[in-house]
Amino acid sequence: MSTITKDGVSSPTPAKASPAKPRRGVRGSPTFNFWLFTGPFLIGLAVFVYLPILWSLYLSFFEARFTVTPSTFIGFDNYVTMLTDEDFMGSLVTFTVFAVFIVPTTWAASLGLALMVNRLRFMRAFFRSVFFLPTAVSYVAASLVWKMSIFSGVRFGMMNTFLSLFGIDNTAWLASPDPPWYWLVILTVRLWLQAGFYMILFIAALQNIPQEMYEAAAIDGAKPGWQTFWHITLPQLRATSTAVILLLLVAAYQAFDEFFNLLHKTTWGRPPLVELYYKALGESQDYGAGSAGALILTVLICLVTLLQGKFLGFGRGEESK
């Protein structure tokens, strides 16, 4: 960079100071700097992640009710208990049903919103904000609004009021698993909360697609619309789609708040974390069985992640495609 003088002639930028001599002592040491920057993170990781996992492993071999410092060793009993527990195994089915619905639905909804918002010629920022705002709402607050206002079972619940216009009787959306209306409540609340966030990811990816590709396709006779979307847009979004699906799956595994608040104390509709909460941290306070369940779940998540990486190719470099 240069500066302008009175004469309008640029004068040369002053030469940079000569590079500082390498510092002596620990402050100049790359090893020191490495530990300086990664140390706090590693300490946090050890204290808040690895230590609890190890403690959980320890607890899983003990009779640990109402205590986290147990003394009665019971071997693999807690694992047997959890693997033969209908409720725990049922929670894995609940998760599967949930993931099968929520992952593709959110993917499609967020991609659809992104395409729609991206094509807008005016008020694009406004609509982007409108769809993104639910991301800022807490799951607990949204669940309560869904439960007490929109899907309340009384006649003045929003959905029942709407349906009554068509002569449909009040529905108790969350009271009974037969028919399982509770899935409608759970899926819509999560869709509302999540779609905006993934929409932003897709918008960013859409804006990265070179316009020339569409122009070249048009010259080659590709029709705008579905054909262009299928043959150009979608393949170009492959990396983002894979990341979105992975994030959605991880989020589905972590599902807790809406299930816990919408289906309070039911025996159905419990994903693994809710089931483990009731088992370990809820009123049962069985930390041994809860820890065993948590470790079983950890192994399962690792397996699913590895399989997903194998099938979807997440994390593979361009050259391996």
Partner 1 sequence: MSALSNSSWDRRTVLRAALGLTAAGGLAACGGNTGRSSGGGSGKNLTQYFHAYGEAGTEQAIKKYAKAYKDANVTTQWITGSNFESKLFASLLTDEAPDCFEFHPQLQMIESGQVADLTDLIDPVKDDFNQADIQSHTVDGKIYGIRMIDDPQFFFYRPSMFEKAGVEVPQTLEELIEAAAKLTTDKVKGAYLGNTLHSMVNPLIWSAGAQHLDDKNQIAYHTDTVVDGFKQLRKLFTSGDLLLDAPTDFWDPSALNQGLTAMQWCGMWAMPQMQEALGDDLGIFPFPKVGDAGKLSVYNGGWSMFVNAKGKNLDATKEYVKWLWIDQKEYQEDWALSYGFHIPPRTSIAESADKLKSGLPAEGVKLFNEYGNFDNIGWTQASITALEDVLANSVRKGGDPDAELTKADAKVNRELKKLFG
Rule CB under 8 A: which residues touch partner 1? 65-68, 148-149, 151-155, 157, 172-178, 264-268, 278, 281-285
Q: Rounded to the nearest whole angstrom, what is the least distance from the CB of residue 239 to partner 1 in the complex?
A: 38
Q: Rounded to the nearest whole angstrom, what is the least distance from the CB of residue 82 to partner 1 in the complex?
A: 14
Q: What is the DSSP letter of 286?
A: B
Closest to partner 1 by CB, 41 vs 66, is 66
Q: What is the DSSP letter of 269?
A: S
Closest to partner 1 by CB, 42 vs 281, is 281
Single out the residue of 69, 75, 57, 86 nearest to residue 292, CA to CA: 57
To the nearest 10 degrees (0 to 180), the angle between helices 86-119 and 124-132 is: 170
Rg (CA), the chain: 27
**In this structure, what token pair is assigned to residue 312?**
């979807």
Tell me what percent of the chain is helix, strand and coil, each rounded to the nearest 5: 65, 5, 30
Closest to partner 1 by CB, 253 vs 278, is 278
Q: Rounded to the nearest whole angstrom, what is the least distance from the CB of residue 116 to partner 1 in the complex?
A: 34
Closest to partner 1 by CB, 157 vs 196, is 157
Paired strand residues for 4: 10
Q: Rounded to the nearest whole angstrom, what is the least distance from the CB of residue 290 to partner 1 in the complex?
A: 12
Length of the chain in residues, anyone?
A: 321
Closest to partner 1 by CB, 10 vs 176, is 176
Q: Rounded to the nearest whole angstrom, what is the least distance from the CB of residue 285 to partner 1 in the complex?
A: 5
CA 219 – CA 278 distance, rounded (Å): 61
Bond into 40 cis (ω within 30): no
Q: Rounded to the nearest whole angstrom, what is the least distance from the CB of residue 151 to partner 1 in the complex?
A: 8
Closest to partner 1 by CB, 51 vs 250, is 51
